[in-house]
Amino acid sequence: MTKKERAVHIVEALKALYPDSVCSLNYEKDYELLFSVRLSAQCTDARVNLVTPELFGRYPTLEALAAADVADVEAIIHSTGFFRAKARDIVLAAQMLLRDYGGKVPGTMEELLKLPGVGRKTANLVLGDIYHTPGAVVADTHCIRISGKLGLTDGSKDPHQVELQLRKVLPPEESNDFCHRLVLHGRAVCTARSPKCAACVLAPWCKSFQQ
């Protein structure tokens, strides 16, 4: 069985197990997702979801965020860690969205990567969730770890390499939802410390389990 064939089986098993493949970050507006992902760096999505209601309640528009005092933003997002860099990036990105992109979150990798604090993980999540771009791969910690265990990648820990390797084997229209489902699976079954391999629906196609 080729990697592509195994990937299809894995995708279908995950779809059956997690039919609702939703992003675990709460947001209503496109730019809110962009900034929520920035806050999630070195922080849990659950913590971010506790912080963002106050942030977006205090600054309900992109214009308000662009004009925000960085110190005030720091105070609101303090519990997410690395709050100084995150606050600076959010305010600067809000200003750039208004100045350079007409107040809209851009829909290309090249444009997204120009925004302060935006890397490939954030850009791929935005492209997949907002623009439904085929082939978007969000190489977060769950994706990197579990893809390596499954043998869909060579075990690389480099997010860009994992992204490129997964793009070669995943059906493009399934790649974004696949990554969301791996997050759910990584929390519920294939945990980092004590994976429940005997109860895992992916065991028949998992290289780590077979070894």
Which residues does the annotation mark as catalytic? Answer: 121, 140
Q: How far apart are CA 19 and CA 201, in angstroms?
A: 14
Structure tokens at 20: 């609702």
